[in-house]
Amino acid sequence: MTGPESEGSLVRRAVCPGSFDPITNGHLDIISRASRLYDEVYVAVMINKAKKGLFEVDERLDLIRQVTAEYENVRIEAFHGLLVDFCKQRDIPAIVKGLRAVSDFDYELQMAQMNNGLSGVETLFVPTNPTYSFLSSSLVKEVATWGGDVSHLVPPVVLEALNKRLRRD
Ligand code: ADP
């Protein structure tokens, strides 16, 4: 098929989901790699009302917006609900996730199979850059709370926000 109706379906979309509390260099690595593979990449900040984060959802969105500004095909949204519904509503057939270590695998496999069973959405795993294989938002918060240096693990604006939040600026 040719013409405008067919063009929409040719846009390859993917989503990188997570809490991003806050975004780290590990997340950014996966987002930038996904942005090279897909026409449009959504970064979905999944809202978990039961879990209060260090940063409000709007603050997380704002930090992500700043550090992904150079990627023209990246969009950022918050979402409350099932990831497969986020995908369905935006015609996204693929979820892109970073796999850090074997310890990530069991849970990620369960989620991938559940999501595929629920709606047919596929999950693609990208092996984490070894530099970031130990890195998580929780670890960054833990280390930063006790005054450890995390400047090599998060972008500068995130470092600034962390220092401000933990009142050490
Ligand atoms: P969650 O709420 O799943 O813990 P996170 O915001 O910590 O979410 O991470 C979201 C996703 O980002 C993870 O499922 C993983 O795919 C990816 N990710 C997180 N940290 C890293 C990292 N250091 N390297 C590569 N990918 C990562």
80-131 pLDDT per residue, tens: 999 999 999 999 999 999 999 888 899 999 999 999 999 999 999 999 999 9
Q: How many domains does the chain have?
A: 1
Q: Please report whether residue 110 resides in a domain.
A: yes
Spatial CA neighbour of 72 closest among 125, 32, 45:
32
Query: What distance lies between CA 15 and its chain's CA centroid?
Result: 8
Q: Is the dihedral of CA 133, 137, 138, 142 positive or negative?
A: positive
Q: Which of 49, 51, 152, 167 is catalytic?
A: 51
Task: Kindly state whether residue 43 falls inside one of the protein's structural domains.
Answer: yes
Q: What percent of the chain has pLDDT over 70?
A: 93
Per cent of the chain over pLDDT 90 is: 86
Q: Distance (Å, rounded) from C-alpha 100 to C-alpha 126?
A: 9
Q: Is residue 152 part of a domain?
A: no
What are the tokens at 59?
Answer: 């603050």
Domain that holds residue 78: 11-133
Is residue 44 in some structural domain? Answer: yes
Residue type (1 letter), 89:
Q
Q: Is 22 in the pocket of ligand 1 (CB under 6 A)?
A: no
How many A from CA of 98 to the centre of ligand 1? 6
- State the pLDDT at residue 169: 55
Task: Report pLDDT for 3.
Answer: 45
* Residue 155 clears pLDDT 60, i.e. is over it: yes
Structural domain includes residue 146 = no
Residue 150 domain-assigned (yes or no): no
What is the CATH number for 56?
Answer: 3.40.50.620
Q: What are 103's two structure tokens?
A: 């310890």
Cα of 141 vs its chain's centroid, Å = 17
- Residue 5 placed within a domain: no
Comparing CA positions, the residue from 52, 53, 32 lying closest to residue 41 is 32
Q: How does the average pLDDT of the chain come out, rounded?
A: 93
- The confidence score (pLDDT) of residue 5 equals 47
CA atoms of 118 and 129, how far apart (whole Å): 30
| In-domain check, residue 167 | no
> Quick one: pLDDT at residue 1?
46
Among 61, 136, 138, 139, the mutation site with the greatest number of ligand 1 atoms within 8 A of its Cβ is 136
